[in-house]
Structure 1
Amino acid sequence: MPLHEAADEIGKQNGSAKLAEVIKIISQVEAGKNFAKLLRKHKKTYEKYSKPRNKIAHGHCAGYLLCDENYVVFAVFERVAGSENMAADAVPVEEMERATKWGGMFAAWIMNLLSGLETRSNTPPKA
């Protein structure tokens, strides 16, 4: 699928939905079935680490908790339930570090697998 078509197809979904859609699309190609299986195994871990990563990437860093400097405060674009106030969320620095490290490793892993998938899909079948 050309990248511009894939962007139209899955571009506006949240990360978990995008990953599910990518798994579905890749599963339809014979060379991608094993890759899709591996991605399914990592989906839950992705969902665990995506929460703090989304705050880091999409929230406004407002500083740290005065009572505990091991927590970074993010103003997130969400309403506090039942009020007109906007939400803020405190994320432990340690959790941010784990999520960031995991994200880098996951991206490298995916790029490595995609390279292998691309190589296999471009290899002519043996006669």
Structure 2
Amino acid sequence: MEGAWWCCKYYYIKYTYSPPLPSVYSLVKGVSKNDQGQFLTEFFCNSVIKYSGRGTYKREIYVESFENVTAGRKEYECAKVKFTMTYEVRYNTGEPWRLYKWVEDGYIWYSEIGMIKAEYTVKTYFSDELKKKMRYR
């Protein structure tokens, strides 16, 4: 499974997961699930690979409840999923920031058509030091 995280106008990071990140749609209230795996990553600058690396991920999820959520003038019955996702990457570079770690922690609301809403916090660490904290909605 491939994914891309866009940093800004000129940079982006591409990930290839092994095994693919599994779905959480089949979970029911009170069920928790943990999984982990590896991924390869490439850091692009102006469409040129600047760095490449190898990483690991660990995901912990728990279905807290079911709620009705309105999105786009429609109401969906959703599973409210508490999740924590931890990523760690080691880039093939001599830069002091080559060890890169980030943690996503929050909630995602899923319906039968997929993700409806997400609220989570991302904490980013470079070489084990907290550098920035961002809030996504």
Q: TM-score, normalised by structure 1?
A: 0.25
Return the structure number with greater strand share. Answer: 2
- TM-score (norm: length of structure 2): 0.24
Structure showing greater radius of gyration is: 1
